[in-house]
Structure 1
Amino acid sequence: MKLIRKILFPVVPIYYLVTWFRNKLYDNGVKSSKSYDFPIICVGNLSVGGTGKTPMIEYLIRLLKEEKRVATLSRGYKRITEGFVLADENATADTIGDEPFQFFRKFEDIKVAVDGNRQNGIAELRSLESKPEVILLDDAYQHRKVKAGFNILLTSYANPYYNDMVLPTGNLREPRSGSKRADVVVVTKCNPSISEAERNEITRRLKLKSHQKAFFSYIDYAKNVISWQKELPLNQLQEFTLVTGIANATPLVEFLKKQGVKFEHLEFPDHYSFRPNDIELLERKGTILTTEKDYVRLSDYESFKDKLYYLPIQMQIFNNKEFDETIKSFVS
């Protein structure tokens, strides 16, 4: 894959110009973006994935759901349905996508919807009898037809956008100049012990505009793993198979190694649709530990009921009071 990316380097300038020109059309009003008179928060990134959008959406849900009626709106990547779908008791990972289904299962007091056409999805949500007061757009930073009132741009500590280039050789969906649309930039998946000096240096390299703020976050792993019927300490899993279908499993793998647990790792692509031969392979394994996103797809198999666990995570933000106040000030 790395060799192919290097071979395709001559395509980089073409991709750069196409995405740069598209942004200019929106920036200059040639292509129109729709604005709204109620709070819409967009969470996204410049890269192709692995920056922690799902933990950020969940952080915002926890922050806002007690005071506002909250809805999430996603594209519903790899779902088998089309158009607008509002999650209900019949929803599955197949009908709305794995990440929206995770939101739906975890938070009972919010609306979860999917629609590739974000304008239509917003209109459908606002037409509900109990219409949401805040809509969180998941992975919509490049969806310029909607002009969110507040943009949260995520970039990972391991691969910040200022060290990257556009596709196909790099991982950026659009040029780094697209970062200027953000209201805040959150550097994700930091080491919890990152120094203030290092944070200051990263902030300097982000080259923020006067209206922007930078924040830093890390992933907080739970001490217990959870199955459909029980919860137990991670260290009680003597040996297990780690199954991941996420963009970047390295932080999770490194965390588990530090815990001293023994495991083998079966790594699949992000949003992977497990095939019958994959299921047969996993059925031959003993205890299985997976991510919450993969759990919502694998837990439907009866053969995994007694051996499938997931490790919950939460995003923690340095200087969270300032971040929370920034979000709540916008929503208010």
Structure 2
Amino acid sequence: MRPETFHAIVRGDRSGPLAAAARLGLWAASGPYRLGVWWRNRGYDRGRRPVVRAGVPVVSVGNLTLGGTGKTPCVEYVAGFYRDIGLQAAILSRGYGAAAGPNDEALVLEENLPDVPHLQDADRAAAALRAVEELESEVLVLDDGFQHRRLHRDLDVVLIDATLPPHRDRMFPRGTLREPEANLKRAAVVLLTRCDQAPDADATRTRLTTRFPHLTVATSEHRPIELLGGDVPEPVESLRGKVVAGFAGIGSPPAFRRTLESLGATVADFRAYPDHHPYTRADVDDLRAWAARLPPDALVATTQKDWVKLRLPELAGRPLRAVRVGLAVRDGRDAFEAALARVVTGERPE
């Protein structure tokens, strides 16, 4: 099943007997999946599964869902925080789709944080030891690590998309939850993302702090910083009033479309690709043919995560620009950064 088809079915965007039958089958399959998640976590909770300690503080940035919460800007934020207070940080990730070299997330982080090493290895425990022994790292940021319990962590930061909080989602494969909301008991910090796109973000925050009093809950949004792809970075305000065609191969393509619209662009057309989509020559030819049908003064926009795999200045004579976004913590920033600082100072809240 194609990712876009899966999401359309589980969200209820598709109706009819076939879609209903598919949802019933996915619901039935979610039972064994939930049981497997419970059994695996129980093994770690009871000490039956071994845990590797890196010897330096480890901060995990993860989520409850299959993706689309905007982890990469948060990983950049956390790693940049430690770099800015004078620590040698390193980022560890599984490296999905990185068999032929650094994947899209690694390329984005390398571009935005060139002075922070990024190790991609399916065995992240081994990568952690290598970062400490060979790179003399003083703190490790574990990308997508909430479910990677084999590596001990000193702080779990969990991202939740405020437009689809876990209480409105379902367990995979009937929904996108990797594990139930109750497992937030393992986390210390929850960062609600895309709060600018969720009118009920404050209600979700209140619900989480009520159900999990131990959590630090902060709100955030992914804020466009600049446009890449030209000779020099351009202000995002230059999109206002422009006719734009967008495409994205990220966890939540609709979120990128909303970003373009929020910048005042008129989105004439939009294409969504699966997350981590590897653009082929055929894809580029197809995008050029698509762009050629746009008005001559139109601009094509994509995400930085897609652009680092293309590195093209234009498509069919239409400028191609990438929107670079950064994490902006709206409410709870001091508490969030205090939690990050405690990991490396050893201080504990009173």
Partners of 1:51 and 1:112 in 2: CA distance: 20
Residue 270 (structure 2) pairs with residue 260 (structure 1): no
Residue 194 and residue 11 in structure 1: after superposition, are their counterparts in 2 closer, same or farther (change >3 A)? closer
Confirm or deny: 8 A CA contact 2:107 2:308 kept in the other structure.
yes
Give the equivalent residue in structure 2 for 1:19.
37
Residue 223 (structure 2) pairs with residue 230 (structure 1): no
Q: Could you tell me how far 1:177 is from its partner in structure 2? A: 2.7
Partners of 1:260 and 1:197 in 2: CA distance: 25
1:1-332 superposed matches below 5 A = 1=6, 2=9, 3=19, 4-66=22-84, 67-81=86-100, 95-128=101-134, 130-191=135-196, 198=203, 200-204=205-209, 207-210=211-214, 212-222=215-225, 224-237=226-239, 238-263=242-267, 264-284=269-289, 285=291, 287-299=299-311, 307-317=319-329, 318-332=331-345
Q: Could you tell me how far 1:319 is from its partner in structure 2? A: 2.4
Partners of 1:312 and 1:275 in 2: CA distance: 23
Partners of 2:103 and 2:319 in 1: CA distance: 24
Confirm or deny: 8 A CA contact 1:180 1:209 kept in the other structure.
no
Give identity over the alignment, percent: 26
SS in 2 for 1:65: helix
Confirm or deny: 8 A CA contact 1:74 1:113 kept in the other structure.
yes
Letter in structure 2 aligned against 1:243: F
Per-residue displacement from partner, 1:21-75 (whole Å, max 9, x unpaired)?
1100110001121234311101101100011111110111221112100110111
Q: TM-score, normalised to structure 1's length?
A: 0.87
SS in 1 for 2:59: strand
Per-residue displacement from partner, 1:226-275 (whole Å, max 9, x unpaired)?
21412334454532321100111223322322433223211111111112
Report the more deviating stretch, 251-260 or 59-68: 251-260
Partners of 1:111 and 1:182 in 2: CA distance: 25
State the number of aligned residues: 315
Partners of 1:161 and 1:193 in 2: CA distance: 14
Structure 1, unaligned runs of 5 or more: 82-94
Per-residue displacement from partner, 1:191-226 (whole Å, max 9, x unpaired)?
289689636533346x2153x22111112123x422
Residue 102 and residue 305 in structure 1: after superposition, are their counterparts in 2 closer, same or farther (change >3 A)? farther
Partners of 1:177 and 1:200 in 2: CA distance: 15
Q: Could you tell me how far 1:153 is from its partner in structure 2? A: 0.9
Q: Identify the structure with the greater helix proportion.
A: 2
Q: Could you tell me how far 1:144 is from its partner in structure 2? A: 1.5
SS in 1 for 2:275: coil
Q: TM-score, normalised to structure 2's length?
A: 0.83
SS in 1 for 2:234: strand
